[in-house]
Each structure stands twice: as structure tokens, then as C-alpha cells.
Amino acid sequence: MVETDKVWLITGCSAGFGRELVLAAHAAGDRVLATARRPEQLADLVAAGGGRIAATALDVTDPASVAAAVGTALGTFGRIDVVVNNAGHGSVGAVEELELADLRALMEVMFFGAVEVTKAVLPHLRARGSGAIVQMSSMGGQVSMPGFGAYCAAKFALEGLSEALAAEVRPLGITTLIVEPGAFRTEFGGARMHRSAPIDAYRESTGPTRAAVEQMDGTQPGDPAKAARAVVTVLRSDDPPLRLALGADAVDHIGAHLDAVRADLDKWAELSRSTALSGVAYR
């Protein structure tokens, strides 16, 4: 097997972006270890892979499971070039409505699980002096809205950590890519969406979000297969970005958010700068 191809380890491959990333990487001539908590759901991918797709169980909240999956990737394909942290699910509910146990469970999968997988793969990428870490975030990794506080908190945390990670591993030859999709036709909004028990006081602020969630699954404009191919294209470019927005809605909403942040920064800059000790300049 020539080493012009790449070996991917992808989490959360039973549906949505994970499944499409497996197919896109395979179509590009690469090899993939597809993972899911129930790997039997991946049997059709393996059957269609012609020996270039393998599957194994992976629960990102279980360090032993993470280590075993990394070992399977190395044992099956000899190396890992790209790791994609994709496992996760949605959540809707106002902040006061959140059960902390549910919030912690969400963070375990979407933040701590991604960190665990990243840490497990990094020694192998460092040894090779190359590779890529792909963090499947969301436009909700930069833009939050009523009712999505828990979900966006996990994505904000992942993006903050990944921005630091990118600067740490870039000198080692490793690329970090944060992917920020908008509304794509995955199962987001469907059965995998956790819903907090509503408090009537938040009907006005979070009610529209809850209603949108109930109608969302199957109506989103984004094509996850095209999104997956876009990720493959970016990883093959000579100068990949740190962040990749996917979907016109992501471009528009993130752009509007950045404009609003800049406007607030500029509006209050004089007061912000006036807080230094007398005779001491900020550096």
C-alpha cells in the first residue's frame, strides 16, 4: 500500500457527518477506521469499503475504549494521519432549565471525549511529524442563541481548546481544522436531541428555538455529503484555514456575530483602555 493515501480515524460514524466523512475519505482513495458505540451499524460501510474501511466500537467517554480504538487503527492500517472528533448530539433548553447532570453528560461526549481522543492520537502524529486533527464544531461554536446554551457551551469550549492546540502542534507539522457547519440534513433536531423540561417564563425567549427544533430534522438546506467533501478538499490544500464555515447560513451568522463583536469593542474601546494603572502601559 503506497503512502500517498491517508488513514482516518473518525468518531460518531453511525449517521450524519461522520458517515459522510467515511464515504468522502474513501472516495478520495484514503483508508478509514469508522467508529461508533454500536459498530454493527457500520457493517454496510465496511462491506462497501473493499478492505479500505474497517469499523470498531468507540465510546469517547471511556478512556479504555478510546485507547483500544487507536490501537485498532494502528494494528489495521499501520498509522493514523487524520483524526475527526465528530461524536455528539444536540440539546435544547434555557440555562435555568438545564439539569447539571445532563449538561455534564453533554460535555463528556462533545468536549472531554474529543480531548481524550485528540490526546490519544497526538503521540502518533508527533512521531510522524505530520497529520491533521479535525474538530467538528458548529456555527454554534461562535454564535449562541436562546435555548442552545448547553450545546454551544460544549462547542465554544472545543473551539477555545482547539485554537490553543493549533498553535501548539503547528511547529510539529500537525494541522488543526475547526469545522463550523450551519443547518445540514443530519439527525440534528431528531431523536438525538435532548430536550430540557420547559419553564413557562422562558416561553417567549426559547419557545421559537424549541419549535424550530421540532420541525428541523429533514428540512435543513445543507447537504452533509458536500460538507464532507469540502473537509477532504480543505485538508488537501496547501494552506488550510483554522476554521471552516460550511453553509451559507454559517457564513452569514458567523459574519454578523463577528461584526457585532467588533462594533462593541470599538464603541467601548476608550473606556476599556482607561483602566490601566497610572503610568503603566499595557503590553
Model confidence pLDDT, tens digit, residues 206-216:
888 877 777 76
Q: In sequence order, which ranges of 49-140 are alpha helices (DSSP H)?
A: 63-77, 100-107, 113-128
pLDDT value, residue 194: 73
The C-alpha atoms of residue 180 and residue 18 are separated, in whole angstroms, by 14
Counting Cα atoms < 13 Å in the Cβ hemisphere of 273 gives 8
Hey, which bits of the chain come out as E strands? 7-10, 31-36, 53-57, 82-85, 91-92, 132-136, 175-181, 194-195, 243-246
The C-alpha atoms of residue 35 and residue 30 are separated, in whole angstroms, by 16
Q: Are 231 and 244 in contact (CB under 8 A)?
A: yes
Residues in the chain: 283
- Whether 68 has a pLDDT exceeding 50, the answer reads yes
Model confidence pLDDT, tens digit, residues 12-30:
999 889 999 999 999 999 9
The closest alpha carbon to 231, from 179, 187, 166, belongs to 179
Q: Does 267 participate in catalysis according to the annotation?
A: no
86-104 b/e with 16+ CB inside 10 Å = b?
A: bbbbbbbbbeebbeeebbe
- Whether 133 has a pLDDT exceeding 80, the answer reads yes
- Whether 107 has a pLDDT exceeding 90, the answer reads yes
The C-alpha atoms of residue 213 and residue 38 are separated, in whole angstroms, by 26
The predicted model gives 226-234 an average pLDDT of 95
Active-site choice (6, 14, 91, 151): 151
The C-alpha atoms of residue 141 and residue 139 are separated, in whole angstroms, by 5
C-alpha distance from residue 35 to each of 60, 80, 243, 274 (Å): 10, 14, 24, 53
Active-site choice (6, 14, 91, 155): 155
The C-alpha atoms of residue 257 and residue 7 are separated, in whole angstroms, by 36
| Average per-residue pLDDT for the chain | 91
Active-site choice (14, 65, 91, 137): 137
Q: And the C-alpha cell for 201?
A: 417564563
- Whether 185 has a pLDDT exceeding 80, the answer reads no
- Measure the CA angle with vertex 177, ends 212 and 259; round to 5°: 55
pTM of the model: 0.92
Task: Classify 276 as helix, strand or coil.
Answer: coil
- Whether 268 has a pLDDT exceeding 90, the answer reads yes
pLDDT value, residue 197: 85
Q: Residue 237 CB: number of other CB atoms within 10 A?
A: 9
The predicted model gives 139-166 an average pLDDT of 95
The predicted model gives 166-186 an average pLDDT of 92
Q: Does 151 participate in catalysis according to the annotation?
A: yes
Q: Are 187 and 90 in contact (CB under 8 A)?
A: no
